[in-house]
Amino acid sequence: MTERPADGNPVAPPGSRTPVDIVTPALVARLARGVPGSGRTVSRTPLTGDPLAELPESGPADVSAAFERARRAQRTWARVPVRHRAAVLLRFHDLVLRRQAEALDLIQAETGKTRLHAHEEIQGALGTARHYGRRAASYLRPRRHRGVVPMLTHVVESRRPKGVVGQIVPWNYPLALAVGDALPAFTAGNAIVTKPDTQAALTVLWARELLVEAGLPEDVWQIVIGEGPVVGAAVVASADHVTFTGSTGTGRTVARQAAGRLVGASLELGGKNALLVLADADLDRAAEGAIRACFTSAGQLCESVERLYLHASVADAFLERFVARTRALSLGAGLDYGAGMGSLAGPRQLETVTRHVEEAVSKGATVLTGGRHRPDVGPYFYEPTLLEGVQAPMAAFAEETFGPVVSVHRFADEDEAVELANATPYGLNSSVWTRDARRGGRIAGRLRTGSVNVNEGYAAAYGSVQAPHGGMGDSGLGRRNGAEGIVKYTEAQTVATQRLMPLGPAPGMDDERYAALMSGVLGVMKALRLR
Ligand code: NAD
Spatial contact of 136 and 166, defined as CB atoms under 8 Å apart: no
268 is catalytic: yes
Residues 183, 312: one domain? no
Last residue in a domain, options 408, 437, 465? 465
Q: Which pLDDT does position 436 carry in this prediction?
A: 97
What contacts 246, CB < 8 A, 6 or more positions away? 168, 170, 254, 268, 269
Handedness of CA 111, 117, 119, 123 (dihedral sign): negative
Taking CA atoms only, the protein residue closest to ligand 1 atom 15 is 228
Residue 336 lies in a domain: yes
- Report if residue 17 sits inside a domain: no
Query: How high is the pLDDT of residue 322?
Result: 98
Which ligand 1 atom lies nearest to the CA of residue 257? 19
State if pTM tops 0.85: yes
Where is the domain boundary, 227, 243, 269? 269
Alpha-carbon gap, residue 65 to 196, rounded angstroms: 17
In a domain, 301, yes or no: yes
Same domain assignment for residues 454 and 405: yes
For ligand 1, whether the C-beta of 197 sits within 6 Å is yes
pLDDT of residue 1: 46
Note the pLDDT of residue 328: 97
Asked if 224 and 297 sit in the same domain, the reply is: no
Q: Which of 204, 236, 247, 356 to mutate for ligand 1's pocket (most ligand atoms within 8 Å of CB)?
A: 247
* Whether residue 295 sits in one domain with residue 259: no
Q: Whose CA is nearest to atom 42 of ligand 1?
A: 302
Same domain, 236 and 330: no
Of 120, 121, 209, 268, the active-site residue reads: 268
Each residue's pLDDT tens digit in the chain (531 positions)? 445 566 799 999 988 899 999 999 999 999 999 999 999 999 999 999 999 999 999 999 999 999 999 999 999 999 999 999 999 999 999 999 999 999 999 999 999 999 999 999 999 999 999 999 999 999 999 999 999 988 899 999 999 999 999 999 999 999 999 999 999 999 999 999 999 999 999 999 999 999 999 999 999 999 999 999 999 999 999 999 999 999 999 999 999 999 999 999 999 999 999 999 999 999 999 999 999 999 999 999 999 999 999 999 999 999 999 999 999 999 999 999 999 999 999 999 999 999 999 999 999 999 999 999 999 999 999 999 999 999 999 999 999 999 999 999 999 999 999 999 999 999 999 999 999 999 999 999 999 999 999 999 999 999 999 999 999 999 999 999 999 999 999 999 999 999 988 899 988 999 999 999 999 999 999 999 988
Looking at the fold, whether 213 and 290 belong to one and the same domain comes out as: no
* Domain of residue 405, CATH code: 3.40.309.10
CA distances from 437 to 21, 74, 278 (A): 49, 47, 12
Domain boundaries, position 352: 273-465
Q: Would residue 499 count as lying in a domain? A: no
477 pocket-lining for ligand 1 (C-beta < 6 Å): no
Query: For the domain that residue 238 is a member of, what is the CATH number?
Result: 3.40.605.10
Query: How far apart are the CA of 170 and the centre of ligand 1, in A?
Result: 5
Ligand 1 centroid from CA 266, angstroms: 13
Instruction: Please give the Cα distance from 113 to 47 (Å, whole number).
Output: 8
Other Cβ atoms less than 10 A from the Cβ of 243: the count is 30
Protein residue with least CA distance to atom 4, ligand 1? 246
Tell me how many domains the chain contains: 2
Statement to judge: residues 220 and 335 lie in one domain: no
Ligand 1 pocket, residue 271 CB under 6 Å? yes
Task: Tell me if 258 is assigned to some domain.
Answer: yes
211 and 308 part of one domain: no
Q: Is residue 492 part of a domain?
A: no
Indicate if 117 and 255 belong to the same structural domain: yes
Pick the closest to residue 91 from 201, 173, 187 (CA basis): 187
The answer to whether position 428 is within a domain reads yes
Chain-centre distance of CA 194, in angstroms?
15
> Of 269, 304, 326, which residue sits at a domain end?
269
Calculate how far, in angstroms, residue 246's C-alpha sits from the geometric centre of ligand 1. Answer: 2
What are the beta bridge partners of residue 284?
none
- Tally of CB atoms within 10 A around 335: 23
- Residue 229 Cβ contacting ligand 1 at under 6 Å: yes
- The dihedral of CA 337, 20, 213, 36: what is its sign? positive
Residue 133 lies in a domain: yes
**Dist. CA 409 → ligand 1 center (Å):** 29
Same domain assignment for residues 253 and 278: no
> Can you tell me which atom of ligand 1 is nearest the CA of 246?
30
pLDDT at 3: 54
Q: Is 464 in the pocket of ligand 1 (CB under 6 A)?
A: no
The rounded Å distance from CA 358 to ligand 1 centre is 25
Nearest CA to ligand 1 atom 14: 228
Determine the pLDDT at residue 15. 87
CA of 250 from ligand 1 middle (Å) equals 6
Are residues 177 and 222 both part of a single domain? yes
Residues 387 and 253 in one domain: no
394 CB contacts (<8 Å, ≥6 apart)? 356, 359, 360, 363, 365
